[in-house]
């Protein structure tokens, strides 16, 4: 009979893992609906099992074509389009967070289920589509021997690579397909533990400053605040001297940085915290204020206190800036690319593409797509619209997971890195795409 009681207690625990109280709230835009905090004994973990594309492709709206620009990459993350149209893609996986608790051991095993079995490349690959058929026929190792590279930027004739532990500078000449010289270390980057290891990178419009996103070393301070020195910040780095200062703080995991082409404001795509409910906390994009504090770990979405963090800091809670635009909880925004000027298509003349890697901490899978957010005057003006989707199958398996997004302004295409199927997808307006096969350069 006691055995029965034990069995019943176990069953209750197992059942507690199902049904996570998702209310289907509208959590996009400047004023997301926020539910009460809902902590559970067993964190909701639903990781989409990897599946194959077969002959299928991601779904794009009518009037656009999608092609596999490059395949067989080794965990592609962020991209940079060079002036001649060549595309660089950073490949790799970082982080060296030791397992401190039994939970870390178990969660690591479960999360690995949703990832590719390919080992990260620790390199940058160059992709070139000279004949304009939407598939890169040149795919070469551009820079090898890197340490979990992620962010990429170009200023003048220099290419900058943000490894997980250092910002590197390389000399580049147009047309080059390989760099073998060692990079110059502009500055070391915080890399202890590296719970969030990705170092997003962008350059100021005038090229004098580089901005690096440095994620937190924990979900919500559970490694102690000593581990958070120089974490959850955006660094502004003098390109020539390497001197840095914290440009913004309390910004949990800024995974993509970009300057708005019209306003010159720095924007970040940011991943917020987990394990306080399926609809907390929304990930977001926001313009980043110099000296701004964005709440982590003490508060979220303005002055909403996270009770898990002790000692609490009411002084910092009251200073917390409300982000500009929510994209939904746990969607994992990893890519950000602006469109302005001539526009991408008539319907996509001014706005931003955002890549969402997809959720693990809620039953109803969220993210796993690329959305379009219309802008006007440098501010978001409407709801996000699905632009590239179909990464999930009907039965909840994932065929791909979007990471970085980039605009190729020369060929007017959107590039999407996918670190599950190890591909770069290329989306272009059907009417404006160069006619394939008929290009003289490719005949024969």
Partner 1 sequence: MPESQRPFGLHPVHAIILAFPIALFAGALVSDITYLNTAEIQWSNFAAWLITFGMIFGSVALLWAIITFVRRRQTPYRGRALTYLVLLAVMWVAGLVNAFQHSGDAWSSVGTFGLVLSIISAACALAAGWLAYSVPGTEVTR
Buried-exposed string 205-214: b where 16+ CB fall within 10 A, e elsewhere: eeeebbbbbb
Query: Do you find a cis peptide bond into 311, omega within 30 degrees of 0?
Result: yes
Q: According to the binding rule CB under 8 A, does residue 39 interact with partner 1? A: yes
Smallest distance, partner 1 to C-beta of residue 5, A? 7
Q: According to the binding rule CB under 8 A, does residue 309 interact with partner 1? A: yes
Q: According to the binding rule CB under 8 A, does residue 430 interact with partner 1? A: no
Find the binder of partner 1 among 218, 253, 286, 329 (CB under 8 A): 218
Burial of 259 (0-12, 13-18, 19+ CB in 10 A): middle
Q: According to the binding rule CB under 8 A, does residue 231 interact with partner 1? A: no
Which CA distances in Å does 301 have to 24, 178, 304, 380?
A: 18, 44, 6, 17
Contacting partner 1 within 257-276 (CB under 8 A): 275
CA distance 140 to 31: 45
Q: Are the CB atoms for 422 and 76 separated by under 8 Å?
A: yes
Alpha helices in 222-341 (DSSP H): 314-319
Find the binder of partner 1 among 22, 33, 222, 230 (CB under 8 A): 222
Phi, psi (degrees; rounded to nearest 5) at 139 = -140, 100
Smallest distance, partner 1 to C-beta of residue 216, A? 12
CA distance 150 to 70: 18
Smallest distance, partner 1 to C-beta of residue 36, A? 15
Smallest distance, partner 1 to C-beta of residue 237, A? 31
Residue listed under structure tokens 């990459």: 73
Smallest distance, partner 1 to C-beta of residue 116, A? 26
Strands 158-162 and 166-171: antiparallel
Smallest distance, partner 1 to C-beta of residue 38, A? 12
CA distance 64 to 56: 15
Q: According to the binding rule CB under 8 A, does residue 223 interact with partner 1? A: yes
Binding mask 279-298 for partner 1 (x = CB under 8 A): ------------------x-
Q: According to the binding rule CB under 8 A, does residue 101 interact with partner 1? A: yes
CA distance 259 to 336: 10
**Of 99-107, 170-178, 237-245, 402-410: span binding partner 1 (CB under 8 A):** 99-107
Find the binder of partner 1 among 41, 109, 435, 441 (CB under 8 A): 41
**Would you say 214 or 220 has its CB closer to partner 1?**
220
Q: According to the binding rule CB under 8 A, does residue 278 interact with partner 1? A: no
Q: According to the binding rule CB under 8 A, does residue 9 interact with partner 1? A: yes
Interior CA angle at 157 toward 135 and 407, to 5°? 35
Q: Are the CB atoms for 401 and 420 separated by under 8 Å?
A: yes
Q: According to the binding rule CB under 8 A, does residue 188 interact with partner 1? A: no
Contact positions toward partner 1, by CB under 8 A? 2-3, 5-6, 9-10, 13, 39, 41-43, 100-103, 106, 218-224, 275, 297, 307-311
């Amino acid at each position: 009979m006691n055995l029965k009681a034990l069995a019943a207690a176990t069953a209750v625990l197992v059942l507690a893992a199902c049904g996570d109280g998702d209310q289907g709230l509208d959590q996009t835009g400047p004023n997301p609906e926020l539910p009460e905090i809902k902590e559970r004994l067993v964190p909701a973990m639903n990781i989409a099992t990897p599946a194959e594309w077969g002959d299928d492709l991601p779904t794009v709206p009518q009037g656009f074509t999608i092609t596999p620009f490059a395949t067989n990459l080794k965990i592609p993350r962020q991209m940079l389009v060079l002036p001649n149209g060549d595309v660089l893609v950073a490949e790799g996986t970082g982080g060296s967070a030791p397992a401190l608790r039994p939970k870390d051991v178990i969660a690591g095993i479960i999360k690995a289920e949703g990832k590719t079995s390919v080992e990260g490349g620790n390199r940058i690959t160059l992709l070139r589509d000279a004949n304009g058929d939407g598939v890169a026929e040149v795919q070469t190792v551009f820079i090898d021997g890197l340490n979990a590279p992620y962010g990429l930027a170009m200023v003048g004739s220099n290419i900058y690579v943000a490894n997980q532990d250092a910002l590197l500078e390389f000399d580049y000449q147009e047309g080059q397909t390989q760099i073998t010289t060692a990079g110059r270390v502009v500055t070391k980057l915080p890399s202890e533990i590296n719970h969030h290891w990705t170092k997003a990178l962008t350059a100021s419009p005038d090229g004098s400053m580089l901005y690096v996103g440095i994620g937190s070393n924990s979900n919500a301070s559970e490694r102690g605040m000593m581990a958070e020195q120089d974490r959850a910040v955006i660094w502004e780095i003098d390109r020539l001297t390497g001197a840095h200062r914290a440009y913004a703080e309390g910004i949990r995991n800024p995974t993509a940085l970009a300057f708005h082409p019209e306003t010159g404001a720095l924007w970040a795509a940011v991943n917020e915290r987990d394990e306080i409910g399926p609809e907390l906390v929304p990930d977001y994009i926001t313009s980043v204020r110099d000296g701004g504090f964005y709440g982590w770990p003490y508060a979220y979405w303005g002055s909403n206190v996270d009770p898990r963090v002790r000692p609490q800091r009411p002084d910092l809670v009251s200073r917390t800036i409300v982000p500009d635009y929510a994209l939904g909880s746990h969607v994992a925004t990893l890519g950000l690319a602006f469109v302005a000027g001539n526009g991408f298509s008539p319907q996509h003349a001014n706005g931003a593409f955002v890549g969402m890697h997809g959720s693990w901490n809620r039953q109803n899978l969220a993210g796993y797509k690329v959305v379009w957010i219309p802008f006007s005057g440098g501010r978001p003006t409407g709801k996000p619209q699905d632009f590239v989707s179909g990464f999930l199958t009907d039965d909840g398996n994932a065929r791909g997971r979007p990471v970085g997004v980039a605009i190729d302004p020369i060929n007017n295409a959107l590039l999407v890195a996918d670190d599950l199927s190890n591909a770069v997808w290329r989306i272009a307006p059907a009417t404006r795409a160069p006619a394939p096969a008929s290009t003289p350069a490719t005949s024969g």
